[in-house]
Structure 1
Amino acid sequence: MSESYLFHQQPEFWTLQWPDALKRVSHVTTCTIEIQHDETSLHAHVSLDDGTILGPGDKMIVQGPPIRLSFGESCTLHRGVKIIRATALERLWIKVASYFELFELYEVSFTPGKLP
């Protein structure tokens, strides 16, 4: 196989120009926050209003003051959010590191038969 064939089969990281691979891009959008704190559930869900999809390593900073709810309350808020995209190098590192994190979850036993 030729070298050019191998180069074109690599992930998108290799097709980027080096200055672009090191740039961090951010943008501001809006989000909807749903919070519930009662005897049946304790959760907070954030959904981006413009349908932006976050990738590995992306950061999301919700703007505004901290939200405090007493027990038994729930609320829905609309706030601004700043999305900071990971660089191509950060995405590559996270994808590689995630495989090693996954291996930590495997439990292998070589004992014969069933354990009591």
Structure 2
Amino acid sequence: MSLLCAARFETPCRINVEHSPESLHAHLELPDEIEIGPGDRVQVHGAPVVVPFGTSMVIDRTATVEVAGPLRRAWTRAAAYFDLAELYEVSFTAGRLA
């Protein structure tokens, strides 16, 4: 276990996207047994999602979850306390993590 990254693994995920007059959102759902904590990173694999106006989509993809190590988790909590950073990081990419 490293101080920055404790574990890295791939998992299926589901993306719910809506682009309508009522809402513009994208929600990422991971399997129930996976808990995301401060400093964790999630990278979703696949092409960018384009949703025409007035529609919604549900897309199944694969994601790589990188669990924060103790140093990154502590830094993220401290930074969030002082409103310096987001608690979680999610990115979408067509490539894969190295």
Q: TM-score, normalised by structure 1?
A: 0.65
Return the structure number with greater helix share. 1
Unaligned runs of 5+ in 1: 1-19, 103-116
2:26 maps to which residue? 44
For residues 3-57 of structure 1, what are the alpha-carbon distances to aligned partners after superposition, in whole Å with 9 as ceiling and x for unaligned? xxxxxxxxxxxxxxxxx35262100001111111011111111110253110101
SS at match of 1:101: coil
Alignment partners' CA distance in 1, 2:21 and 2:78: 40
Opposite residue 3 of structure 2, the aligned amino acid is: L
Question: Is the contact between residue 29 and residue 50 of structure 1 (CA under 8 Å) also seen in structure 2?
Answer: no
Q: Relative to 1, partners in 2 of residues 1:74 and 1:89: Cα closer, same or farther, differing over 3 Å? A: same
Q: Comparing both chains, which one has the higher relative contact order based on Cα–Cα distances under 8 Å and sequence gaps of 6 or more?
A: 2
Q: Give the structure with higher Rg (CA).
A: 1
Opposite residue 22 of structure 1, the aligned amino acid is: L
Return the structure number with greater strand share. 2
1:109 maps to which residue? none
In the comparison of the two structures, how many residue pairs are matched? 83
Identity of aligned residues (%): 37
Q: CA deviation at 1:96?
A: 1.9
